[in-house]
């Protein structure tokens, strides 16, 4: 009996993240790297390294013998909607890098487009597949009722991060709210449910770009959980997801905590995965707390798990972990953060289906 053919996947965009997705496709037995799409002269070297065809445009790819079943959109934030719509209209399933869009209205247009053409639209919040996030979600019931959370994403991006050809990162559509905080919002939604109110205070700006450099947040979740979150890409700090987990190979791992989850029966810090409880069951501040260091299982690289999941969704074997709607919910919160930051007022966030 012949095995099913691999799902052919194209990668659109060969910046920092596109080649990492391409490598993940190459490591997935049920997938095949069909080609890459990028008009940049530098893309030729990427295609040669990956040993795959290169096309200058989506339309050229769609008209070629290498037409794929699906595609990953790994282009600058402000192009996500237009390129993803072009693919969906061409009958291609799409996994779009986060954020789904730079505003709620265009993100909804993209979701509607996927529905019209009956194609899958997934959003690349790959950290849902990170072993620290997977393990944390499994451990939440052991903490009792979750009362509050505290989070940090604080780091220092160098000046060259904003230099050509990625000078688009200086724009207000590409500050740390839409590039970095959106990851955190999606993880918080995944762990604790929808955020329904935010209040934001903007941090001091040092670079002079139109993009913000940081913000302090107060959060309220639909289920009553409250939280605080501090974001900055212009401070010296080890407290961030990348340095904490070692997920990004270009950022040295230090293992410092970035989440503290506080429950009625126990608390948990991540990524050191330390759970604090009263060993005898008597919750009294005069008693000594017990400290337990939990062991994480080995898992695939999140990008590889995400590709495996994408293939299974296309084959009808799994439901999307992060659908277009889930991706849009994160944008909705980020939009509310920016509004609160500008108006200096709390902003309520409507639920969307």
Model pLDDT for residues 10-68, shown as the tens digit of each residue: 999 998 899 999 999 999 999 999 999 999 999 999 999 999 999 999 999 999 999 99
If pLDDT is split at 50, 70 and 90, which confidence band does 353 have? low
Q: Is the pLDDT of residue 140 over 50?
A: yes
For 301, residues 6+ apart whose C-beta sits below 8 A from its C-beta are 24, 27
pTM to 2 decimal places: 0.91
For 71, residues 6+ apart whose C-beta sits below 8 A from its C-beta are 9, 10, 11, 12, 37, 87, 92, 93, 94, 95
Full set of structural domains in the chain with CATH: 7-127+303-322 (3.40.50.720), 130-300+332-348 (3.30.360.10)
Distance (Å, whole) CA 253 – CA 200: 29
Q: Is the pLDDT of residue 2 over 60?
A: no
Q: What is the pLDDT of residue 352?
A: 65
Q: Is the pLDDT of residue 292 over 70?
A: yes
Model pLDDT for residues 88-121, shown as the tens digit of each residue: 999 999 999 999 998 999 999 999 999 999 999 9
> What beta strand segments (E) does the chain contain?
7-12, 31-37, 54-55, 70-73, 93-97, 121-124, 146-154, 195-202, 214-221, 226-232, 259-263, 267-270, 274-277, 290-293, 347-348
Neighbour-count burial for 216-229, b at 16+ CB within 10 Å, e otherwise: ebebbbeeebebeb
Model pLDDT for residues 38-51, shown as the tens digit of each residue: 999 999 999 999 99
Distance (Å, whole) CA 97 – CA 74: 6
């Amino acid at each position: 009996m012949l095995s099913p053919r691999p799902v052919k996947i194209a990668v659109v965009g060969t910046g920092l993240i596109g080649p990492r997705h391409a490598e993940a496709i190459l490591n997935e037995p049920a997938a095949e790297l069909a080609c890459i799409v990028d008009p940049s002269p530098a893309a030729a070297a990427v295609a040669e390294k990956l040993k795959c065809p290169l096309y200058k445009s989506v339309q050229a790819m769609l008209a070629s013998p290498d037409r794929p079943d699906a595609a990953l959109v790994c282009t600058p934030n402000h192009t996500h909607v237009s390129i993803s719509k072009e693919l969906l209209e061409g009958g291609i399933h799409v996994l779009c890098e986060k954020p789904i869009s730079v505003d709620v209205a265009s993100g909804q247009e993209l979701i509607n487009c996927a529905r019209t053409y009956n194609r899958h639209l997934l959003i690349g919040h790959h950290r849902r597949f990170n072993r620290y996030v997977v393990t944390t979600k499994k451990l939440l019931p052991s903490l009792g009722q979750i009362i509050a959370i505290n989070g940090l994403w604080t780091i220092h991006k160098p000046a060259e991060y904003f230099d050509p050809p990625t000078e688009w990162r200086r724009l207000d559509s590409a500050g740390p709210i839409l590039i970095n905080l959106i990851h955190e919002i999606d993880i918080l939604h995944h762990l604790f449910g929808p955020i329904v109110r935010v209040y934001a205070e903007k941090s001091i700006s040092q670079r002079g770009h139109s993009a913000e450099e940081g913000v302090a947040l107060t959060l309220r979740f639909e289920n009553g959980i409250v939280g605080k979150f501090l974001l900055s890409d212009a401070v010296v700090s080890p407290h961030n997801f990348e340095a904490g987990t070692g997920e990004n190979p270009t950022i040295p791992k230090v293992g410092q905590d970035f989440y503290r989850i506080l429950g009625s029966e126990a608390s948990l810090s991540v990524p050191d995965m330390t759970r604090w409880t009263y060993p005898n069951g008597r919750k009294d501040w005069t008693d000594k707390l017990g400290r337990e260091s939990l062991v994480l299982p080995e898992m695939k690289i999140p990008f590889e798990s995400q590709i495996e999941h994408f293939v299974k969704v296309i084959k009808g074997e799994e439901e999307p972990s992060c659908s277009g709607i889930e991706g849009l919910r994160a944008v909705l919160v980020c939009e509310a953060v920016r509004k609160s930051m500008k108006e200096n007022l709390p902003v309520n966030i409507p639920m969307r289906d």
